[in-house]
Amino acid sequence: MLECTLLPPSESQPATLRVEGNADITFILQFKTALVEALQAHPNLYVDCADMTEADFSCVQLLWSTHQSYPGMRVTPAGREALTPVILAAGLDRVQGFCLSGDPGDCLWAAPDPPLGKKSDTNCPV
Amino acid sequence: MSNPHEAFREEAYELLTSLESSLLELEESPDDLEIVGAVFRAMHTIKGSGAMFGFDDISSFTHDIETVYDLVRNGELAVTGALVSLSLAARDQIKAMLDATCGGDSCDATRTEELRGAFRALLPVKEDASAAAPGPGKVANPAAALQRTYRIRFRPNREIALSGTNPLCLLNELRELGKCQVVAQMDDVPPLADLDPEQTYAYWDVILTTGEDIDAIKDVFIFVEDDCHIQIDLIDDEELLGTDSSYKKLGDILIERGDLTPDALQEVLRQQKRVGEMLVEAKVVSPSKVASALAEQQQVKEIRSQQQQKQQGGDAASIRVPADRLDRLVDLVGEMVTIQSRLSQTALGREDAELISIAEEVERLTAELRDNTLNIRMLPIGTTFSKFKRLVRDLSQELGKEIELTTAGADTELDKTVIEKLNDPLVHIIRNSIDHGIEAPEKREAAGKKRQGTIRLAAIHSGDSVIIEIVDDGAGLNEEAIRRKAVEKGLVGEQELLSRHEVFQLIFAAGFSTAEKVTGVSGRGVGMDVVKRAIEALRGSIDIDSVAGQGTTIRVRIPLTLAIIDSLLVAIGEDCYVIPLSIVEECIELTRADVAASHGRNLVRVRDRLVPYVHLRDEFAIAGPPPEIEQVVITAVNGNQVGFVVDHVIGEHQTVIKSLGRMYRDVQGLSGATILGDGKVALILDIPQLIQRAEQLA
């Protein structure tokens, strides 16, 4: 099961799409639909994956494609447990958009902690 | 896209077959680490692939066995008879689990847990199963292995995820082979609006340094290789590039991969910055491609500085081709042979020297093509032999007998189709040898024999056939019991005189059985007549000889192939018939005077022997008078000579065998048909069946 809830923007944070459950190939079409709908109203969307229980490469690919089309979209820092192993397994830890970007607008992550256990001396702006 | 689950099952069944052979070999040579390695690899592959394709129960069960064999190969656990027996039982359980996934009986989960528990009990108490399991980056004997570095580009089929295959599992499998850097290439992933999220657009560059050979890498992709683009290049070892710790420059790597043109590189180099940065800025290469090339450069430098490369990697000498493609190829070659025959006939008819020369050249090439194509389908019979080791082991244990199976000529090659069809008859013969042939150990000792009986399975080439001998050193056939039973069954008269050989042949008569009781091993209602019919359906023959107290020899003669045979083309009236050349001994003339001299007994004198013959014109009720001088084709089947009278012998012929349609399948005396050069159909005679029919009528 996958549940996507759009939280409106507040003073403390931009509009956020909360993703709960399995973001894998089974529900990936549903995930894309939710993302597209949310982004149409809020291009600087935050995607909160804290309650994502499972993810696979289709999910990561979708997030990457979304970020290419909507550079303002970010994945929130907390709870990347489901995504991190997939990113590492897919060899995306060296790929621009995930951490090696020299352009702050080109990174998927929203938080300043170095993602995926990388040293903070990478070019990653977060 | 072919079904990857089916591909997994197919491959897993093959692995289980080789696993069984390895386990039986391991029982004989418990210290052979190569065999232990083979067992481990088989389990490891089944486990990894099972997980990848969603066969989680199989993967999890196999993991426990793999863990035990990891201890064995590290010298922490000894191979015992009990471990081999347990492993064989586990192998059977995996097979049952596989069967259950494709409509077979459901698998006994309790049995799975029992076996799992038995394997876990073998682990040392302090051992944590997860720690014992091979993890990422764990390589067997890393110090001893020859390290080579490969560059792998894996571009999956876009529908790979939809088919249930997780490409990341393949990458993780690669990581288990050695030091591995994976870089995803996302260039082909479209913008969100165009993205079909169920498709996989990414591809991967992998730099792998491993002690395993290229086959181990190919094995990782074995289930997806038909649908995915996989390129594996050996990029570094001692003999290729020396042991210098330096390596190619970044630009050279990108050019070698085809990701960059030399002109683009030269253009960028004029700017005097770091080449990676410049290339990305110039937008001639994507950042991920630079990252991938850097990974390669870094890893090779690292490996080179760590240790010397010692051995040149060998490339794979074989490729996997689906059997149906080979069958199709053989069919096409068959068509080609038929057309070539037609061409030769037309060329001769027109008396055009140039056309005849071309036809001869086509004939030569076709013959070569035919031989090469048929050779591709040839498989060593050893694959079948190895199955029997298990059969003998299990049945002898069940019956409390001690039996050793020895094999010879396992490399002898036979057509794949023949091997498949030979399995059941051989199983039945061996079951009989175990059950009725070899005596119980005490009985053997009392008879002055070794406690352990022997069954010898040997294959040898003989012309266009293979002879398979099944020899046991058991009690031999009881001539008197066979005769008595045959009389009871009305197969022979009480006073009928029969030679020893003729008495033994009676066991091939329908419904004949001398076993006093029906056992679980043989006596399942399938007699040796079924075995004989199965062998004859393969255009083969079976013969038996036995010496009381010393043992029995069964000799099966099988043609090398069932697709195209050399034959003798004969004519009766307007029709042509085909007789397999392998059973033809000679041809002689039959005059009206010879017929009159035999006084209706259908016997012809061949030098100093009288040979019975069958008049095919009568047999097939062909109208019209026969020629003044007919021909008798003398054949030899199961050691007996029988002649077949035809109008004319046309000559040798390459016969492409076509099966008869359903309507004609049960017609007696015919085993198939072929198309001649002029387009006519010639029927292939089933000589053993014709002989049998003649014997019954007599």
Annotate B507-533 with three-state secondary structure. Answer: HHCCCCCCCCCCCCCCCCCCCHHHHHH
Residues of B in contact with A99 (CB under 8 A): none
Q: Is residue B313 part of a domain?
A: no
Residues B513 and B445 in one domain: yes
Q: Is residue B369 part of a domain?
A: yes
Residues B176 and B265 in one domain: yes
Residues B480 and B537 in one domain: yes
Q: Which residue has the higher pLDDT, B141 or B260?
A: B260
Q: Is B136 on the interface with A (CB under 8 A)?
A: no
Q: Specify the pLDDT at position B3.
A: 65
pLDDT in tens, A46-88: 898 888 998 999 999 999 899 889 888 888 766 567 888 888 8
**Dihedral of CA B559/B563/B564/B568: which sign?**
positive
| Statement: residue A124 has pLDDT above 70 | no
Band (B312; pLDDT cuts 50, 70, 90): very low
> What's at B662, amino acid-wise?
R
Band (B143; pLDDT cuts 50, 70, 90): very low
Q: Is residue B364 part of a domain?
A: yes
- Tell me whether residues B195 and A62 touch, CB distance under 8 A: yes
> What's at B32, amino acid-wise?
D
Q: Specify the pLDDT at position B216.
A: 83
Helix axes B4-28, B81-101, angle to 10 degrees: 160
* Spatial distance between the Cα atoms of B184 and B206, rounded to a whole number of angstroms: 9
* Spatial distance between the Cα atoms of B211 and B213, rounded to a whole number of angstroms: 7
Question: Across the A/B interface, how many CB contacts are shorter than 8 Å?
Answer: 91
Buried b / exposed e along B230-266 (16+ C-beta atoms within 10 A): bebebbbbbeebeeeeebbebbebbbebebbeeebbe
CA atoms within 13 A on the CB side of A10: 6
Residues B363 and B389 in one domain: no
Q: Specify the pLDDT at position A27.
A: 93
Mean pLDDT for all residues in chain A: 79
Q: Lowest-pLDDT range, A97-106, B643-652, B657-666?
A: A97-106
Residues B103 and B198 in one domain: no
**Beta-sheet strand order (sheet of B178-185):** B178-185, B203-210, B148-155, B229-236
Over residues B178-192, the mean pLDDT reads: 89
Q: Specify the pLDDT at position B399.
A: 86
Q: Any alpha helices (H) in B260-404, and if so which ranges?
A: 262-269, 275-281, 287-306, 323-350, 353-376, 382-399
Give Cα B497 distance to the centre of its chain: 45
Q: Is residue B391 part of a domain?
A: yes
Residues B668 and B645 in one domain: yes
Over residues B161-177, the mean pLDDT reads: 87
Q: Lowest-pLDDT range, B142-146, B159-163, B480-484?
A: B142-146
Q: Lowest-pLDDT range, A52-66, B51-65, B618-632?
A: B51-65
Nearest-CB residue to B287 (from A28, A69, A100):
A100
Q: Check if the beta carbon of residue B279 is closer than 8 Å to that of residue B285.
A: yes
Band (B130; pLDDT cuts 50, 70, 90): very low
Q: Specify the pLDDT at position A79.
A: 59
Closest approach of B189 to chain A, Cα-based (Å): 7
Q: Check if the beta carbon of residue B264 is closer than 8 Å to that of residue B284.
A: yes
Kindly state the tokens that stand for B205: 């560059």
Residues B259 and B195 in one domain: yes
Q: Specify the pLDDT at position A57.
A: 93
Coil vs helix vs strand at A63: helix
The one-character DSSP state at A109 is B
* Spatial distance between the Cα atoms of A99 and B441, rounded to a whole number of angstroms: 73
Q: Specify the pLDDT at position A94.
A: 65
Q: Is B287 on the interface with A (CB under 8 A)?
A: yes
Q: Is residue B580 part of a domain?
A: yes
Residues B574 and B435 in one domain: no
| Statement: residue B239 has pLDDT above 60 | no
Q: Check if the beta carbon of residue B251 is closer than 8 Å to that of residue B260.
A: yes
Q: Which residue has the higher pLDDT, B465 or A58?
A: A58
pLDDT in tens, B538-593: 878 888 888 888 999 999 988 776 677 788 999 999 899 999 888 889 999 998 88
Residue of A nearest to B194 (CA): A65
Best residue in B152, B154, B168 for a mutation probing chain A (most A CBs within 10 Å):
B168
Listed residue (B165, B317, B313) closest to B228, CA to CA: B165
| Statement: residue B315 has pLDDT above 50 | no
In terms of average pLDDT, the best of A18-32, B286-300, B488-502 is A18-32
- Which of B559, B584, B605 delimits the end of a domain? B559
| Statement: residue B91 has pLDDT above 80 | yes
Mean pLDDT for all residues in chain B: 81
Give Cα A125 distance to the centre of its chain: 15
| Statement: residue B126 has pLDDT above 90 | no
Residues B299 and B331 in one domain: no
Kindly state which CATH superfamily the domain A2-117 is placed in: STAS domain (3.30.750.24)
Q: Specify the pLDDT at position B307.
A: 52
- Tell me whether residues A94 and B183 touch, CB distance under 8 A: yes
The count of structural domains within chain B is 5
Q: Is residue B587 part of a domain?
A: yes
Residues of A in contact with B187 (CB under 8 A): none
Coil vs helix vs strand at A105: helix
Domain interval for residue B206 = 148-306
Q: Specify the pLDDT at position A110.
A: 66
Q: Specify the pLDDT at position B195.
A: 94
Listed residue (B532, B415, B531, B407) closest to B466, CA to CA: B415
- Which of B559, B574, B605 delimits the end of a domain? B559
Listed residue (A92, A34, A45) closest to A67, CA to CA: A45
Residues B577 and B474 in one domain: no
* Spatial distance between the Cα atoms of B195 and B50, rounded to a whole number of angstroms: 30
Residues of A in contact with B295 (CB under 8 A): 94
Residues B426 and B489 in one domain: yes
Residues B159 and B56 in one domain: no
| Statement: residue B299 has pLDDT above 70 | yes
Q: Specify the pLDDT at position B495.
A: 81
Q: Is residue B216 part of a domain?
A: yes
Q: Is residue B139 part of a domain?
A: no
Band (A5; pLDDT cuts 50, 70, 90): very high
Listed residue (B89, B56, B174, B12) closest to B393, CA to CA: B89
- Which of B559, B583, B608 delimits the end of a domain? B559
Band (A29; pLDDT cuts 50, 70, 90): very high
- Tell me whether residues A91 and B201 touch, CB distance under 8 A: no
pLDDT in tens, B380-438: 888 788 778 888 888 888 888 999 888 888 888 888 888 888 888 888 899 888 988 89
Listed residue (B319, B317, B4) closest to B156, CA to CA: B4
* Spatial distance between the Cα atoms of B283 and B270, rounded to a whole number of angstroms: 15
Closest approach of A50 to chain B, Cα-based (Å): 21
Specify the CATH number for the domain of residue B102.
Answer: 1.20.120.160
Q: Structure pTM?
A: 0.48
Q: Domain residue spans in chain A?
A: 2-117
Of all residues in chain B, what percent carry a pLDDT higher than 70? Answer: 88
